[in-house]
Amino acid sequence: MRAKGKGNSPAAMWRDGGRNVRLSMCLMGLGQLCYGQIGKGLLYLAVLALAAAYFVGRGFEDLIGLFTLGTQEANTWLGIEGDNSVIMLLMGLLAVAAAAFLGLCWSANVRDAYETQKRCERGGRPARFQEDFKALLDRKFYKTVLFLPILGVCVFHILPIVFMIAIAFTNYGGSIVPPKLVDWVGFDNFIQIATLSRFAPTFGRILLWNLVWAVVSTGLNYFAGLGLALLLNKDCVKGKAFWRAFPMLAYAVPGFITLLGFKFMFSYGGPINGIITGMGGRAVGFLDIDAKWIARAIGFAVNAWISVPSIMLLATGILANRDFSQMEAARIDGANAFQQFRHITLPFVLFSTTPVLISQFIGNFNNFGIFFFLRGGLYIDGYFLASDTDLLINWLYNLSINNNYYSIGATISLVIFLITSLLSLLIYTRSTSYREEDTFR
Amino acid sequence: MKNRKVAKAIDAVLTHLVLIAVCFVFLFPCLWLILASFSKSGSIYSFEGFFPSAYSLDTFRTLFTDTEMYNYPRWFGNTLFIAGMSCLIGSLLVILTAYTMSRFQFRGKKFLMKTTLVLGMFPSFMGMIAVYIIMTQFGLINRMCGLILIYSAGAPMGYLTQKGFFDTISASIDEAARMDGATNFQIFFKINLPLSMPIIVYTAISSFTFPWSDFILPKLLLKEKDLYTVAVGLMSLGDTEFARFAAGSVFIGVPIVILYFALSRFFVSGMAAGAVKG
């Protein structure tokens, strides 16, 4: 089942390859035809013809458009239908993808011809069309299966990400939206958010708060969840399933219901204010415009309410796999409960949950829901289109979806990606689970 | 000896006190929401403290009959359709991907695995602007199938948990079947699939609940009121509609909660497997 190893470099194949392999290199499918594999050869030729038609028809234009992003601005007075830069960008990227796909087909075609040659040298004969087809259900089953998922991920994950990265280097957004022409601006957007502009101060403040938020809430949730699991794991606790059911309840309620519910709870007309006014106090604006730290604290609490149960469930599962003989030995040697926890349980749990910790950290860093629901749509003085509880991702949303600052938004998402990936790489490579175990089987 | 017994008893009492507090914290908001959904007046202002002063089923009745402003049955149908279809297609893709990644060695496999790891670091939300523009280009704005496409296409990214499960099924069964002349296609459908019921259930539930409770994508892509999902619809409710919100939430929340409890076994083991494998 193992694919043919290395040593199949194009140069090597050209050297070792016979006439047919070289023919395949020159024209896709030709080598197959010469081997008498009519069906396959025609298929390759058909792909080539389609690709050629596409590139002649519009592909080359799209590729050029990727660089110019349009040259003719629309003018309704003169009746000129101008170029739409954004669509040109998208189509240009698609053309690049098409070219890459063609390259892949071409290399597959050469490799196929080469394999056929090897097979003939060993005294076999070229595979017939049905045999190739059958191989897709057997030896090459993985190709059949992975085709759709990879296509889907390419179109709906990679294309948007590449598109977004491209936009970060243009001036798309603000007043410059089609029909106006968009242009490449290099690193201008990065310079804008880092230095003097209306974006810079807001970016600094939000980034700082975002880091504080991610670290504190991850730590809080993690240790609260672990503590809860340890508590439930105690011998004196009977009916563990009963106690566990309550956090499970919180885990099972869909997140937006929880968040909207808490928003109602802390609103002016909500029950908490109802009790305060009932006791003769004045209603408190828990999530109001001047409630900076109160709102942040509520954010931490609500996030804990949502995330602690899942960590507890996870930790419970991991604690069950502990090596109990080690604990026993430590106890006999006179270690107290805290020492056992500090030196045996904690390292073990940390080891097993490093990936979870990382994904929790990233999840919290980009926790869109919490403040979107609790304080969505609030703009505060001193912040450009954001509030003092907004995380970068909320700001990104405000900027790009609500206010059309697309290129700045894309730049911020790149910055977010850089921060999260660097941090998680750092945590990951320093963690024990990376050093002692290869993650991929 | 006696001291230790006392210490143990104190410890037990303290533990239970903390547990009771924790349970109260988790239970109270849920209880509040459930009771509010049965309030008679429907307005949060008539509550005495946290709880309604009188109870009835009226809110549920208006939820389903008074559909002019807020068409809850319609939202519910939309959500069910989107989540159901995404679950069907998504699970199939995830299971197949995970199985392949677990059983086959091929060129570019490590590359694929690393790519998915890196792609996972882009929060799905970040490409949203781009997704929005792309969907406009494809003409899939305000179309439910656009949402289904995105959900199902994104599903294979989370294949690691399922791969962890398939890794535990012994490959020797496969070998035996191959000796008997079974193809890989047959090995998957006739041997491994029947053995993987737990993980299939887990996959199906988790790929159902995500679209069921997602709000970002539908909010972005479905602009027409008739196409709202429950999440978007409930978000659009005004401040005065608290009881309606509570009733709507309880109605879609309760089935999910029951589902989770019934299948909690799978969830815990599935999550643990995913965690260890990373």
**Residue B277 pLDDT exceeds 60:** no
* Domain-ending residue, one of B40, B60, B80: B60
Contact B235/A at CB under 8 A: yes
* Domain-ending residue, one of B60, B89, B106: B60
**B275: pLDDT confidence band, cut at 50, 70 and 90?**
very low
Q: Within this chain, do residues A35 and A162 fall inside the same structural domain, yes or no?
A: yes
Q: Within 13 Å and on the Cβ side, how many CA atoms surround A169?
A: 11
For B242, the 3-state DSSP assignment is helix
Q: Which of B27, B49, B130 sits opposite A164 (nearest CB)?
A: B130
* Domain-ending residue, one of A136, A163, A186: A186
Contact B139/A at CB under 8 A: no
Residues of B with Cβ-Cβ distance to A142 under 8 angstroms = 100, 104, 106
Q: Within this chain, do residues B165 and B46 fall inside the same structural domain, yes or no?
A: no
**Number of structural domains chain A divides into:** 2
Q: Which of A61-70, A326-335, B18-27 has the highest mean pLDDT?
A: B18-27
Between A413 and A425, the more confident residue is A413
Place of tokens 């592909």: A59
Say if A4 falls within a structural domain. Answer: no
Which amino acid is residue B218, in one-letter code? P
Q: What would you report as the CA-atom Rg of chain A, rounded to the nearest whole angstrom?
A: 30
* C-alpha B227 chain-centroid distance: 20
Q: Within this chain, do residues B115 and B214 fall inside the same structural domain, yes or no?
A: yes
Question: What pLDDT does residue A152 have?
Answer: 87
Asked whether the beta carbons of residue A253 and residue B30 sit closer than 8 angstroms, the reply is yes
Question: What pLDDT does residue B42 have?
Answer: 58
CA dist B101 and B94 (Å) reads 10
* Domain-ending residue, one of A168, A186, A204: A186
Selected for mutation to probe chain A from B8, B92, B126, B271 (highest A CB count within 10 Å) is: B126
Between A26 and A54, the more confident residue is A54
CA dist A154 and A169 (Å) reads 21
Contact A433/B at CB under 8 A: yes
pTM equals 0.79
Q: Which of residues 129-168 of A touch B (CB under 8 A)?
A: 134, 137-139, 141-142, 145-146, 148-150, 152-153, 155-161, 163-164, 167
Measured between CA atoms, how close is A274 to chain B, in angstroms?
6
Residues of A with Cβ-Cβ distance to B209 under 8 angstroms = 254
Residue B224 is classified by DSSP as: S
Question: What pLDDT does residue A4 have?
Answer: 43
User: For the residues B134-152, what does the mean pLDDT come to?
Assistant: 86
Q: Within this chain, do residues B77 and B16 fall inside the same structural domain, yes or no?
A: no
Say if A131 falls within a structural domain. Answer: yes
Q: Which of B12, B29, B107 sits opposite A236 (nearest CB)?
A: B12
Q: Which domain holds residue A344?
A: 195-436
Selected for mutation to probe chain A from B16, B26, B100 (highest A CB count within 10 Å) is: B26
Q: Within this chain, do residues A182 and A199 fall inside the same structural domain, yes or no?
A: no
CA nearest to B219 within chain A: A401
**Residue A440 pLDDT exceeds 70:** no
Q: Which of residues 146-205 of B touch A (CB under 8 A)?
A: 149-150, 152-154, 156-157, 167, 183-185, 188
pLDDT tens profile A218-265: 999 999 998 898 888 887 888 888 888 888 888 888 888 888 888 888
**Using an 8 Å Cβ cutoff, are B132 and B245 in contact?**
no
pLDDT tens profile A31-54: 888 888 888 888 889 999 999 999
CA dist B210 and A196 (Å) reads 41
For B51, the 3-state DSSP assignment is strand
Asked whether the beta carbons of residue B239 and residue A309 sit closer than 8 angstroms, the reply is no
**Residue B162 pLDDT exceeds 50:** yes
Q: Within this chain, do residues B129 and B267 fall inside the same structural domain, yes or no?
A: yes
Q: How far is CA B72 from CA A31, A212, A263, B238, in A?
A: 62, 39, 21, 14
pLDDT tens profile B100-125: 888 888 878 888 887 887 777 676 66
CATH of the domain at B68: 1.10.3720.10
Q: Which of B104, B122, B215 sits opposite A417 (nearest CB)?
A: B122
Q: Within this chain, do residues B47 and B146 fall inside the same structural domain, yes or no?
A: no
Say if A5 falls within a structural domain. Answer: no
Q: Within this chain, do residues B37 and B143 fall inside the same structural domain, yes or no?
A: no
Question: What pLDDT does residue B87 have?
Answer: 93
Angle between helices A255-266 and A368-375 (to 10 degrees): 30
**Residue A85 pLDDT exceeds 70:** yes
According to DSSP H, which parts of B122-154 are helical? 128-138, 144-154
CA dist A364 and A181 (Å) reads 37
Q: Within this chain, do residues B211 and B109 fall inside the same structural domain, yes or no?
A: yes
Question: What pLDDT does residue A214 have?
Answer: 93
Between B1 and B101, the more confident residue is B101
Q: Within this chain, do residues A263 and A378 fall inside the same structural domain, yes or no?
A: yes
**Number of structural domains chain B divides into:** 2
CA dist A370 and A393 (Å) reads 11
Q: Within this chain, do residues A165 and A302 fall inside the same structural domain, yes or no?
A: no
pLDDT tens profile B12-65: 888 889 999 999 999 988 888 888 888 776 565 556 666 777 777 877 888 888
pLDDT tens profile A184-221: 888 888 888 888 677 888 888 999 999 999 999 999 99
CA dist A64 and A66 (Å) reads 5
Q: Within this chain, do residues B113 and B68 fall inside the same structural domain, yes or no?
A: yes
Contact B113/A at CB under 8 A: yes
Residue B104 is classified by DSSP as: -
User: For the residues B179-206, what does the mean pLDDT come to?
Assistant: 83
Q: Within this chain, do residues B81 and B52 fall inside the same structural domain, yes or no?
A: no
**B278: pLDDT confidence band, cut at 50, 70 and 90?**
very low
Q: C-alpha dihedral over A97, A102, A104, A109, to 10 degrees? A: 170
Q: Within this chain, do residues A162 and A281 fall inside the same structural domain, yes or no?
A: no
Q: Which domain holds residue B41?
A: 2-60
Say if A441 falls within a structural domain. Answer: no
**Residue A436 pLDDT exceeds 70:** no
Say if A287 falls within a structural domain. Answer: yes
- Burial of residue A87, with CB atoms counted within 10 A of its CB: 0-12 exposed, 13-18 middle, 19 or more buried: middle
Say if A254 falls within a structural domain. Answer: yes
* Domain-ending residue, one of A144, A167, A186: A186
CA dist A96 and A158 (Å) reads 13
